[in-house]
Amino acid sequence: MFLLKTKAKSKLEECILVHLTPEGDLLDLENKNVTPEHMRLLCQAGDTLNGVKQLYLSDNGLGDAEIECLSKSRCFPNLEKLFLNQNKISNAGAKALAESKFVQNISYLVLEANQIGVNGVQSIATSLNFQNLETLFLDSNPIGPQGAEAIARSTCLSSLSALHLDSTGIGDQGVKAIATSLMSAKLKKLYLCSNKIGDEGAIALSQSPNLSHLTCLSIWRNEIRDAGGKAIAESIYFLNLERLYMSLNLIDKPIRKVIRSSDLASRLKTLVMD
């Protein structure tokens, strides 16, 4: 019995604790070939990891089974930031996280580049466990317009101030849902790159009083043309905007010139446009 316990402790130290900072507040397991056995050790570490505030598990090929295991862990009572990008998490994994008390204190969640669809986003958007969540990365997940609509309808993401939806296929329909949502009233940063957004979506953004607190808007690599670009520049609601990224759209040179000479551009700290 004693030998077994000693071996388990040694394995924990060798595979997990070696990646813990001296302060004990950051555990970096990104791209460390984390296996199901490592996840089991991680989730049974007792109070050894109580001080961890940031947990990196990115780029490990983790699937839903590993995330369900993590969701049952009680070893991270002070966790604030969780990085799960570039894994193989689908709707079931997102649902397991959303239903777990494990995430109740998390303010920063990165789920970029997984396989989460509409149902997974719906689980996140309706979870009471995410009421402290301030920053959410869902980039490069196939959530589509219905996923954006699920977020827009959410009454549970009450602390959300930064929303990352690059390359999620939400299109104009999804952007219009975000723009008209009362949930968006607290947003300060909104990232919508590479979503095939056209003038309809851009105009919806420009006409939304719900987005009046935005300090950063990123809409580069879309299909916005002159009407949409002009609407953004003339918006009466972007008075707090400091950074605007809108390169790689379909706006003609004369309108780009109008945008650069607009009142909006004069207030911006950063304007990125080709």
Mean pLDDT of the chain, nearest integer: 95
Instruction: Tell me the sheet residues that pair with 26.
Output: 54
The pLDDT of 161-176, averaged and rounded, is: 98
Could you tell me the pTM of the whole model?
0.94
Contacts of 71 (CB under 8 A, 6+ apart): 96, 97, 99, 100, 102, 103
Residue appearing with tokens 């295991």: 69
Concatenated DSSP letters of 198-243: -HHHHHHHHT-GGGTT-SEEE--SS---HHHHHHHHH-SS-TT--E
| Per-residue model confidence (pLDDT) at position 1 | 41
Mind listing the pLDDT tens digit for each residue in 222-251? Answer: 999 999 999 999 999 999 999 999 999 999
Contact 102, 72 (CB under 8 A): yes
What are the chain's domains? 55-62+84-272 (3.80.10.10)
The phi, psi pair for 231, rounded to 5°, reads: -65, -40
Give the model's confidence band at 9: pLDDT under 50 very low, under 70 low, under 90 confident, else very high. Answer: low
CB contact set of 150 (below 8 Å; sequence gap of 6+):
118, 121, 122, 125, 126, 143
pLDDT tens digits, 112-144: 999 999 999 999 999 999 999 999 999 999 999
Residue 8 binned pLDDT confidence (cut-offs 50, 70, 90):
very low
Confidence of residue 15 (pLDDT cuts 50, 70, 90): confident
